[in-house]
Structure 1
Amino acid sequence: MINKFWNMTLEEIKNGFTFNSKLDKYVCNICGKEFENGEIFKIENRYFDAKKMIKLHIQRDHLEVLQILMSYDKKYTGITENQKELLSIIYSGMTDIEIAKKMGVSAATIRHQRFTFREKAKQAKLYLAIYELAFQGMEKNKNKPDSKDDIVEVHNGAKMVDDRYFITKAEEDQVLFTAFSALTPLKLKIFSSKEKKKIVILKKIAEQFERNKRYSEKEINLILKEIYEDFATIRRYLIEYGFMERTTDCNEYWLK
């Protein structure tokens, strides 16, 4: 979900892809598809390098990055449905008078809204600079390099981020210690009914699957059965909590 954008630059978010220097791959922000640097990709009778291919992939498979970003809920973007509609129309290149006629308002109203968008963008940039400086200072000055008070990152597929996801590293470690009898290989002894603990457990189990790989239901069951006897319950919650997705016929599963 929105968490995946946290460590990206503004340009990476706008472009729709990032470059993973460790893997030497370009990665699509939207679907996770990877294009290895140095590899040549052929489409019909044309050849593309990885950087050109990731751009082409986004254009062909995902259309407009703007629309995808605006599809996120207001609690993540701060943008209302009416504002989304106006931004989409502005993106289309229409003049203030044309937009006003389309939306049934005055041109002055449209100009005022564009001014508001601009001022909000200025505030957002300044806020981000202040935030980064403040927390960089905290990291620099705290006594322990790996503080147990650090908040655990929310997984990308989380469907509704609320207090359940407010989990510190210390809490996560304690849940892992009590819920699992072994971490290598992974063996779950207690699947807690408490929401925070459930999320920590499911996150750890999800790490047993490879990203960008499709699994059959049989393969999913075999992996989960080695971890916990009631594998069907774990499989259901992995889907319900947004750690995994599946096709409507349940023939294929994959990490979100």
Structure 2
Amino acid sequence: MSVLAELFWNATIAEIKQGYVFDQEMEAYICLVCGKRYEKGVIYQAEDVFYEAEKYVRRHVASDHISMLDFLLGLDKKISGLTELQRTLLNMFQMGLNDNEIVRELDGGSTSTIRNHRFTLREKMKQAKVFLSIMELVEEKSINQSRFIQFQQSNSWLDERHQITEEENEEIVRAYFKQGPTGPLSEFPKKEKRKVVILRQLIQSFDKQKQYTEKEVNEILKERFHDYVTLRRFLIEYGFMDRFPDGSCYWVKG
């Protein structure tokens, strides 16, 4: 799955309707149609007018993609579930055409047929709401039944966004420690959840009862990943390890 497809399917209905999402990690607004990013805090210019990031991404969606309705109606039937006729009718409905005008545009049929299509599409919307509610309840129950990794008190800043099931933890460890959990790290991830899992795994290389010099910490981390400085910094920032201000002594927190 591409990053853009993942963003689209993870977006809420409100986000899909507006055409963009806000990525907390990158601090950027991302267009769900083309993936263009606009960083929060940066000012963008268009036609001698200056825009803050969110207003600019709204402008981008409207000017480059016409509307999210047009984009969504253009999606393949496998994605939208709509037939060609249903897409055509929905486009005419949003244009405000009445039943008689639609019959003329289609060059055939009857107003009663158009009314029947309106009814069928509204029923489809109701069914979609019920199905979505069912699936969300099933997913919530599944999550509640999953066993979550418990973090120590020093990681109390972690909230529900960082909740990780044991299954997720094992999957991430396998993906990033290809030679086993005590082997080298293939790469350091950007996503928050994955970072937490990696750091939780790395801290197990240290003895909780021991104090370390910075050189000793570096030597241990160097065996796991070439950029040991980044690992050491994140172990401190994420509350897995602490140190004296002068860096003369490090230890495992908790």
Contact 2:178–2:186 under 8 Å retained in 1:
no
- Give 1:20 deviation, angstroms: 1.9
Matched, 1:115 2:119: yes
Structure 2 residue aligned with 1:184:
186
Q: Which runs of 5+ in 2 are unaligned?
A: 150-164, 189-254
Shift of 1:122: 1.0
CA deviations 1:173-192 (Å, max 9, x no partner) are 48x949xx976369xxxxxx
May I ask how many residue pairs the two structures share in their alignment? Answer: 165
Aligned residue number for residue 84 of structure 1: 87
What residue is the counterpart of 1:8 in the other structure? Answer: 11
Structure exhibiting the larger radius of gyration computed from Cα positions: 2
SS for the counterpart of 1:6 is helix
CA RMSD of superposed structures (Å): 2.9
Instruction: Indicate how the Cα distance of structure 1 residues 57 and 185 shifts in structure 2: closer, same or farther if over 3 A, else same.
Output: closer
Counterpart AA for 2:113: T
| Aligned residue type for 1:16 | G
TM score, norm. by length of structure 1: 0.56
Give the C-alpha shift of residue 143 in structure 1. Answer: 3.6
Partner SS state of residue 48, structure 1: strand
1:16 and 1:29 in contact (8 A); partners too: yes
Decide which of 22, 26, 50 is 2:25's aligned counterpart: 22
Match for 1:69 among 72, 79, 86?
72
Q: Which amino acid aligns with 1:117?
A: L
Tell me, yes or no, if the aligned pair for 1:28 and 1:54 is still in contact at 8 Å.
yes
Match of 1:133 in 2: 137
Tell me which of the two structures has the higher relative contact order, counting C-alpha pairs closer than 8 angstroms and 6 or more residues apart: 1
TM-score between the two structures when normalised by the length of structure 2: 0.57
The whole-number CA distance in structure 2 between the counterparts of 1:6 and 1:53 is 23
Q: Which runs of 5+ in 1 are unaligned?
A: 151-168, 187-256
Letter aligned with residue 75 of structure 2: Y
- CA offset at residue 134 of structure 1? 1.2
